[in-house]
């Protein structure tokens, strides 16, 4: 990826993340803002270290993007952060959720739906391309095992990945988490073409 | 940031990496395997152990860049060659594989990528093509695994989230 494409990609991911938070705000009926956003390029082999190490228990929310091009979206959180999201989504006081049962996982899946759809809509609006999210899968296991879903596909063609880390602020709490957005080569090519035309 | 707490006798084998050792006190570890497959090899006479952390079934499917053992068909021979260099004999090797899970059990992802199953199948094929026999395997399912090989004894221990570790 050249620097022009990288710049465009950073711009798109930032726009997508802001739009995703706007979707989340609508879902829960309270303002959620992105207070910090960083996008970094990381070797695929070490991405699990960003979430504490490959054997650290984590919650993953995973979607694929199809349409004009393919890609992966994965949100990975420590269980306590995922529980904080559940409290936010279910309009409960902080620290109410202590375990992730069926209802809590369903709430996280819905959050994945909203984040995925709004993120991809922002990409589609900016580029004129067509993206559709898959239904979300919510899993809890070792971070390395969850990330293998994405890693295996990326390592076929590339050895680095873009990882976005966003801190979200709701009225009474602040939550931060990793947001892995993995474009396929096809998407990057489409983006390069879009960048040339823009 | 890496919070994995390891002593200098514990070698964490990362994605696409492999290592051979004849240090009796060493432990080789693959942490948090999902669809990846770990090959554990041990020569009980030379007391040489080795482990490879492989991500994809075949180098014919992707670009051969980055860590050498990324592909099963390249990783298995790389590990065995390094073990031979420090005294192991192929004919004595005890080979075990673990990993190859299908992490997404949600509806709509049943056939998704299916990398885990293909990694395990590729490992069996490559081992068989080399004229070797697999002694044991713990593959498939929908759970992550951490795999440890103790070089001094050849013992392979597998752990999954929330369960007691068990010897393979």
Q: What is the pLDDT of residues B13-72, one digit of tens each?
A: 999 999 999 999 999 999 999 999 999 999 999 999 999 999 999 988 766 566 688 899
Read off φ and ψ for residue A59, nearest 5 degrees. -110, 130
Shortest CA gap A143–chain B (Å): 7
β-pairing, B134-139 with B94-99?
parallel
Q: Which residues pair with B97 in a beta bridge?
A: B39, B137
Reported confidence tier of residue B3, pLDDT bands at 50, 70, 90:
very low
Give dist(CA A107, CA B112) in Å, integer.
Answer: 23
- Is residue B2 a contact partner of residue B25, using CB atoms and an 8 Å limit? no
B23: which 2 tokens?
A: 């240090």
β-pairing, A57-67 with A71-77?
antiparallel
pLDDT of residue B40: 98
| A145–B2 CB contact, under 8 Å | no
User: What residues of chain B have any CB closer than 8 angstroms to a CB in chain A?
Assistant: 1-4, 14-17, 31-36, 55-56, 61-63, 65-67, 70, 101, 103-109, 112-113, 115-116, 143-146, 161
pLDDT over 70 percentage in chain B: 86
Who contacts A51 (Cβ-Cβ below 8 Å, separation ≥6)? A58, A76, A77, A78, A143, A147, A178
- Integer CA distances (angstroms), B75 to A27, A74, B53, B125, in order: 47, 28, 8, 13
Give dist(CA B134, CA A165) in Å, integer.
Answer: 42
Give dist(CA A29, CA A32) in Å, integer.
Answer: 9
Cβ neighbours of A106 in B, within 8 Å = none
Cβ neighbours of A138 in B, within 8 Å = 106
Interface test with A, best of B6, B10, B55, B116 (most A CBs within 10 A): B55
B91: which 2 tokens?
A: 């004919």
Candidates B26, B28, B33, B36; catalytic one: B36
**What is the pTM (predicted TM-score) of this model?**
0.87
Give dist(CA B105, CA A138) in Å, integer.
Answer: 9
A197: which 2 tokens?
A: 């035309």
Active site residue B40: no
CA angle A89, A95, A99 (to 5 degrees): 80
Tell me, yes or no, if A136 comes closer than 8 A to chain B by beta carbon: yes
Nearest by CB to residue B32, choosing from A55, A140, A159, is A55
A46: which 2 tokens?
A: 């070490």
Among candidate residues A22, A50, A18, A20, the one with its CA nearest the CA of residue A37 = A18
pLDDT of residue B2: 33
Shortest CA gap A114–chain B (Å): 18
Distance of CA B34 to the CA centre of its chain: 11
What crossing angle do the helices spanning A185-197 and A102-127 adopt, rounded to 10°? 40
What crossing angle do the helices spanning A3-28 and A102-127 adopt, rounded to 10°? 130
pLDDT of residue A40: 80
Shortest CA gap B91–chain A (Å): 32
Mean of per-residue pLDDT scores for chain B: 89
Shortest CA gap A105–chain B (Å): 12
Cβ neighbours of A65 in B, within 8 Å = none
| B108–A148 CB contact, under 8 Å | no
Cβ neighbours of A52 in B, within 8 Å = 1, 3
Tell me, yes or no, if A2 comes closer than 8 A to chain B by beta carbon: no
Maximum alpha-carbon separation in chain B: 49
Read off φ and ψ for residue A126, nearest 5 degrees. -75, -35
| B3–A53 CB contact, under 8 Å | yes
B119: which 2 tokens?
A: 């990694």
ipTM: 0.87
Who contacts A49 (Cβ-Cβ below 8 Å, separation ≥6)? B1, B2, B4
Nearest by CB to residue A149, choosing from B1, B34, B161, is B34
Nearest by CB to residue B66, choosing from A64, A149, A159, is A159
Give dist(CA A80, CA A61) in Å, integer.
Answer: 14
Give dist(CA A103, CA A85) in Å, integer.
Answer: 13
Who contacts A16 (Cβ-Cβ below 8 Å, separation ≥6)? A118, A119, A120, A122, A123, A181
* Each residue's pLDDT tens digit, A18-66: 888 888 888 888 888 777 778 788 888 888 888 889 999 999 999 888 8
| B106–A152 CB contact, under 8 Å | no
Tell me, yes or no, if A115 comes closer than 8 A to chain B by beta carbon: no
- Closest residue, chain A, to B58 (C-alpha): A156
- Is residue B150 a contact partner of residue B27, using CB atoms and an 8 Å limit? yes
Number of H helices, E strands in chain B: 2, 10
B85-108: b (≥16 Cβ within 10 Å) or e: eeebeeeebbbbbbbbbbbbebee
| B3–A52 CB contact, under 8 Å | yes
* Each residue's pLDDT tens digit, A126-184: 888 888 888 899 999 999 999 998 888 778 777 777 777 777 777 777 777 666 776 66
Read off φ and ψ for residue B135, nearest 5 degrees. -80, -40
């Amino acid at each position: 990826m050249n620097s022009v494409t990288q710049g465009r990609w950073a711009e798109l991911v930032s726009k997508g993340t802001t739009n995703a938070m706007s979707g989340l705000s609508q879902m829960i009926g309270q303002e959620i803002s992105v207070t910090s956003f960083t996008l970094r390029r990381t070797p695929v082999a070490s991405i699990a270290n960003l979430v504490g190490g490959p054997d650290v228990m984590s919650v993953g929310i995973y979607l694929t993007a199809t349409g004009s091009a393919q890609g992966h979206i994965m949100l990975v959180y420590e269980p306590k952060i995922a529980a904080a999201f559940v409290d936010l989504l279910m309009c409960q006081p902080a620290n109410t959720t202590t375990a992730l049962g069926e209802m809590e996982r369903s709430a996280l899946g819905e959050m994945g739906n909203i984040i995925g759809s709004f993120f991809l809509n922002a990409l589609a609006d900016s580029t004129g391309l067509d993206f559709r999210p898959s239904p979300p899968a919510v899993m809890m296991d070792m971070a390395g095992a969850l990330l293998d879903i994405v890693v295996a596909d990326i390592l076929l063609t590339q050895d680095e990945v873009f990882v976005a880390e966003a801190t979200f602020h709701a009225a009474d709490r602040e939550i931060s988490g990793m947001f892995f957005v993995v474009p396929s080569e096809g998407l990057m090519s489409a983006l390069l073409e879009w960048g040339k035309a823009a | 940031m890496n919070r994995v707490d390891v002593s200098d006798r514990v070698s964490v084998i990362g994605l696409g990496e492999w290592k051979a050792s004849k240090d009796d006190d060493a432990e080789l570890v693959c942490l948090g395997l999902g669809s990846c497959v770990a090959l554990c090899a041990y020569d009980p006479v030379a007391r040489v152990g080795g482990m490879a952390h492989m991500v994809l079934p075949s180098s014919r499917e992707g670009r051969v860049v980055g860590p050498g053992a990324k592909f099963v068909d390249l990783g298995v021979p790389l590990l065995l060659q390094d073990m031979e260099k420090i005294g192991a004999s192929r004919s004595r090797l005890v080979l075990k594989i673990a990993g190859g899970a299908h992490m997404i059990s949600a509806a709509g992802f049943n056939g998704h990528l299916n990398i885990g199953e293909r990694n395990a199948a590729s490992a069996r094929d490559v081992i068989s093509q080399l004229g070797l026999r697999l002694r044991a395997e713990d593959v498939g399912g929908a759970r992550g695994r951490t795999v440890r090989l103790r070089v001094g004894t050849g013992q392979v221990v597998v752990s999954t989230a929330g369960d007691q570790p068990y010897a393979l």
